[in-house]
Amino acid sequence: MPPYLVPAPPAVAEHTSFTMAEAEFANLRNDLLAPPLLGADHAVTEAEIRVRGTEVMRLLFEGWCNVRAAANPIREVTESDDVHRTHHRDAGRDVESFFGTVKVNRERVGARGVEALVPGDALLNLARDRFTFGVRQRVVEEAVRGSFEAAVKAIGTSAGADVAKRQAEELVVRASVDFDSFYEENSRDIGEPLPAKMLLVLTADGKGVVMRHDSLRDATRKAAETAKPKLESRLSKGEKANRKRMTTVAAIYFVEPNPRTAATILGEAGAEPAALRPKPTRKRLFASLKKTPREVIGEAFEEAERRDPEHRHRWVALVDGNKTQILEIREAAEEARVGVTLVLDLIHVTEYLWKAAWEFHKEGHPAVEKWIAKYLRMILDGKASTVAAAIRRSATANKLEKRTNIDKAAKYFLNKKDLMRYDEYLRDGLPIGTGVIEGACRYLVKDRMDITGARWGLDGAEAVLLLRSLAVSEDLERYWPFHRAREFERNHRSRYAEEEDEWLTTRAA
């Protein structure tokens, strides 16, 4: 269904482009049945059909555009400023389509001292620039997968459109402008309600993106300006490049509870084998460089509220121990008036254990694995405080001079003990790892934004992240009709007086 409706056109004469398309097709058909193509291999013929077939389609599209633009010959129109426009003149414009450049003839209708209106552009829903929505969509599809250079090359080899790199970047930015309103105005169709036993999981993390100097946050830019590296050719140990801006990534999804035991997690002898981990469903990802972490987390909670307005499900928030992140999640939960179970990622906990272990054992000593298994088992049994006390006593008893990581681990476990009730989490089947969000940071941010040599401007980077978020959330196809309807409102409908609805009407898809 189109994102806007206009009256059906009356019968009009065919445009000459249709005749030219028919002639071009006839010539191609005849050439296929005659030398030299009749004796060529399939690759040569395939390339010939692609090039000349694209020209046939270009002519067909050009003919249709001109027939449609001429279908409603409006001689007088009134703009939203109530100025009645009566003077008209023929005008043509080039439109860059998926098949190549087409010439569209239409009328400009104006009055003295005011900007002219172009009803034909409104009928076709043409953008103010020269590119069709088909080209825009293809540019976005390519640009969210790989570099802009690769996107331009792919379009050049597979379509007739002529798009430069800078134009591709601008088209991606323009295509992303309705991201927020899309989710605000369109409740996600999540299908039938899920069983109440399903867990509603929220999680967030951050990932740095290399930015151009003028797109860094103020604090990072000032640090870069004042930094004085020890060496000119490279950074020394502990020095930072101060060239990245942090992306906040959040995810929300449902998952079935997966009860298990500490013995199963550790693969102990006699333990029941681990069941297949249930897969997340109805997942949506959020990512932004411009918005604060609190804003992104707030959006995730708003989405959770739309999915579970009656709070039938148990809400679980997976965290990595970052104090600010934990505070923001708790504040968002308080605003939503919903109880949320915070779970500290077990991998982060394990990393603290490993760092402490190397202060008890020499690097690579086989006894370290038994040491890790012993204390990790205690942590999984919900005894984080006991582990903290035990490793400190052991360090004191062994008179260790180097115990920094031991004390850090003990302090971490004590401070986060309320988030480390793993015995309860395992019993209730809650997830205890942040693999979903860490994977999202990799394939949503790193795989695209960390392309070798990339230095991002803020608007371009934000646009790519928003469109990749739509793609991985499987919402990009639903987004395009909404975006086209919004473009129609901005570029055309908003410029005409209400009385013009007689020939031009709008309706959301």
Task: Concatenate the DSSP letters of all residues of 147-180 into one string.
Answer: -HHHHHHHHHHHSS----HHHHHHHHHHHTTTHH
pLDDT recorded at residue 495 = 87
Distance between CA atoms of residues 458 and 173, nearest Å: 10
Q: Are residues 413 and 451 in the same domain?
A: no
Q: Are residues 453 and 337 in the same domain?
A: yes
The one-digit pLDDT tens for each residue of the chain (509 residues) are 344 555 555 556 678 999 999 999 999 999 999 999 999 999 999 999 999 999 999 999 999 999 888 876 566 788 787 888 888 888 889 999 999 999 999 888 888 888 888 888 988 999 999 999 999 999 999 999 999 999 999 998 888 889 999 999 999 999 999 999 998 887 656 668 899 999 999 999 999 999 988 888 887 777 766 766 666 556 556 545 668 899 999 999 999 999 999 999 988 888 888 778 899 999 999 999 999 999 999 999 999 998 999 999 999 999 998 899 999 999 999 999 999 999 999 999 999 999 999 999 888 788 899 999 999 999 999 999 999 999 999 999 999 989 999 999 999 999 999 999 999 999 999 999 988 989 989 989 999 998 887 889 999 999 999 999 999 998 999 999 999 999 999 998 888 888 787 777 644 33
Burial 191-224 (b: 16+ CB within 10 A, else e): eeebeeebbbbbbbbbbbbbbeeebbeeebbeee
Q: Are residues 237 and 328 in the same domain?
A: yes
pLDDT recorded at residue 159 = 82
Q: Are residues 259 and 360 in the same domain?
A: no
What pTM was computed for the model? Answer: 0.86
pLDDT recorded at residue 160 = 84
Using alpha carbons, list the distances in angstroms from residue 112 to 84, 85, 88, 109, 364.
10, 8, 11, 11, 85
323-336 and 293-307 helices cross at what angle (nearest 10)? 40
pLDDT recorded at residue 506 = 46
Q: Is residue 219 part of a domain?
A: yes
Residue 232, CA atoms < 13 Å, CB-side half-sphere? 0
Q: Give every CB contact of residue 488 below 8 A, 6+ residues apart in sequence.
A: 3, 4, 122, 125, 506
pLDDT recorded at residue 158 = 82
Q: Are residues 267 and 229 in the same domain?
A: yes
Q: Is residue 327 part of a domain?
A: yes
- Rounded to a whole number of angstroms, the distance between the first and last alpha carbons of the chain is 6
215: containing domain:
194-345+433-474
Q: Is residue 56 part of a domain?
A: no
Q: Is residue 501 part of a domain?
A: no
100-110 and 87-97 strand pairing: antiparallel
* Structural domains in the chain (count): 2
Are 251 and 494 in contact by the 8 Å Cβ rule? The answer is no
340-344 and 314-319 strand pairing: parallel
Q: Is residue 323 part of a domain?
A: yes
pLDDT recorded at residue 14 = 78
For residue 450, the SS3 value is coil
Q: Are residues 198 and 256 in the same domain?
A: yes
Q: Are residues 316 and 404 in the same domain?
A: no
Q: Are residues 385 and 459 in the same domain?
A: no
Q: Is residue 490 part of a domain?
A: no
Q: Are residues 202 and 212 in the same domain?
A: yes
pLDDT recorded at residue 171 = 96
Over the stretch 305-333, which tens digit does the pLDDT of each residue have?
A: 989 999 999 999 999 988 999 999 999 99
Q: Is residue 352 part of a domain?
A: yes
Q: Is residue 413 part of a domain?
A: yes
pLDDT recorded at residue 340 = 97
Q: Are residues 219 and 367 in the same domain?
A: no
Q: Are residues 411 and 449 in the same domain?
A: no
Q: Are residues 412 and 438 in the same domain?
A: no
